Amino acid sequence: MRTVITGGAGFIGSHLCDYLIEKGHQVICIDSLLTGKVENIVHLMGNSQFRFIKHNVSDYIYVDGQVDNVLHFASPASPFDYLEFPIQTLKVGSLGTLNSLGLAKTKKAKFLLASTSEVYGDPQIHPQREDYWGHVNPVGPRGVYDEAKRFAEAMTMAYHRYHHMDTRIVRIFNTYGPRMRVKDGRALPNFICQALRGEDITVFGNGLQTRSFCYVSDLVEGIYRLLLSNEYDPVNIGNPEEITIHQLAKEILALTGSKSRIIFKTLPVDDPKIRQPDISRAKKVLGWEPKIVREEGLRKTLRYFKDTLSSFEKNR
C-alpha cells in the first residue's frame, strides 16, 4: 500500500503516519507546515517507508508512481488557527480537497476526507447523528472552517457519485493527545499548559458548554477501520463521554496538582453550547468504539506537555 497523507505533519496526521507505517504502508506526507511541525515527523525521516514533501495542497499536487490511498487531513483545525488563517482554511477545504480528490482519481486510489463535528454547527439535536444536517452560521467567524468542511463533504460525495470513486468521510469530534501544539489555543492543551505554568485557567463563558473528548489512538484506529470498510456515508468518530468545559478545567487542576485559579472570559462568537457524538453507525459498520477513558488519556497527554514545556522553557 502506498498512502498519501495531506496534513501529515500535524497532530492527527503524524499519528496516522506512524500507525500506517506500522501496518506496512509506504507513507507520503504532504504538508505546508502552516500549523504543523517537523518535530512531529522527525523520527520518521530516514525511514525508507516514509517520504515528506513540503507543499501547499491548495496548489496542484504532483506525486509520482502508484498511490493506493489519499487521506486528506490538511487544514487549520483549532478555532484559534482558523481565525488567524481564514482564507487559507477556505482554500484548503475547497481547492485542497479538489486537488486531493483529483490526485486520487488520477491514481485510481481510495480517498478519505477528514471532516468534523463542526459541520453540525451549534447543534439543536443532541447527541449528533450523521443524518442531522446541522445549524451553521455561514457568515460568522467560524463559517470559514464549517462551510469549507461542508463544501469538502459535498465535493467528496460528488466525486463518489459522478466519478464512481471509492470515498470515505470521517466526522471527527474533539480529539486530544501528544503532539497538540502548546499554543494551539484549544481548551485542553491550553488548560494543561496554564496549569503546568501556574497561570490562570481561562474558561470561556460560564463554562457550562459541553464537549466530548476522544484520545488520539482511538481516533486513528477508527479511521483505519473506516478506510478498510465499504462505508461511503459520513461516520462520526469520537468519544461520547460528555463533560462541561468547567469540569474539564477542574479535572486538569486535580491531575496536575496545580495552584492555578480558574477565571472566566468572554465566550467566542457562535461557540457551540453542546457537543456529543452518536457513534451507533461506527459501532455497527466498523465494530469500533473508544477504549481510552479520559483520566488515562489526560495522564498520557500531561506527560507529553511536561516534556515539551521543559525543553521549550530551556531553549527559550
Residues that bind ligand NAD (CB under 6 A): 6-7, 9-13, 31-36, 56-58, 73-77, 81, 92, 96, 114, 116, 172, 174-175
Query: Of 245, 169, 158, which Cα lies nearest the Cα of 207?
Result: 245
- Among 41, 140, 32, 138, which residue's Cα sits nearest to residue 92? 32
Nearer to ligand UDP, 19 or 204 (CB): 204
Alpha carbon of 162 to those of 45, 94, 109, 159, 166: distances in Å? Answer: 38, 18, 15, 5, 11
Shortest gap between Cβ of 274 and ligand UDP (angstroms)? 10
- Residue 219 has φ and ψ, to the nearest 5°, of -60, -50
Task: Count Cα atoms within 13 angstroms, Cβ side, for 252.
Answer: 32
In the list ligand NAD, ligand UDP, none, the entry touching 71 (Cβ below 5 to 8 angstroms by class) is none
Q: Is the bond into 86 cis (omega within 30 degrees of 0)?
A: no
| Residue with cell string 478519505 | 112
Partner interacting with residue 256 (select from ligand UDP, ligand NAD, none; CB below 5-8 Å by kind): none
CA angle 180–39–27, rounded 5-degree value: 95
Q: Which is nearer to ligand NAD, 4 or 260 (CB)?
A: 4
Q: What is the DSSP string of 294-310?
A: HHHHHHHHHHHHHHHHH
**Residue 176 annotated as catalytic:** no
Q: Pick between residue 190 and residue 260 the one whose CB is nearest to ligand NAD.
A: 190
Which of 82, 145, 176, 215 is catalytic? The answer is 145
Shortest CB 287 distance to ligand NAD, Å: 22
Residues near ligand UDP (CB under 6 A) are 78-79, 174, 186-188, 190, 202-204, 209, 211, 245, 267-268, 271
Closest contact distance (angstroms) between CB of 231 and ligand NAD is 18
- What does 271 interact with, of ligand NAD, ligand UDP, none (CB < 5 to 8 A by kind)? ligand UDP
> Comparing C-alpha atoms, which of 151, 56, 139 is closest to residue 94?
151
Residue with cell 468547567: 246
Between 97 and 260, CB nearer to ligand NAD: 97
Chosen from ligand UDP, ligand NAD, none, partner binding at 236 (C-beta under 5 to 8 Å by type): none
Among ligand NAD, ligand UDP, none, what does residue 18 contact (CB within 5–8 Å per kind)?
Answer: none
Nearest to 162 by CA among 106, 113, 105: 105
CA dist 285 and 77 (Å) reads: 27
Q: How far is the CB of 186 from ligand UDP (least distance, A)?
A: 3
Q: Which amino acid appears at position 72 of this protein?
A: H
Q: CB-wise, 20 or 77, nearer to ligand UDP? A: 77
* Amino acid in the structure at residue 114: A
Minimum Å distance from CB 261 to ligand NAD? 27
Active site residues: 145
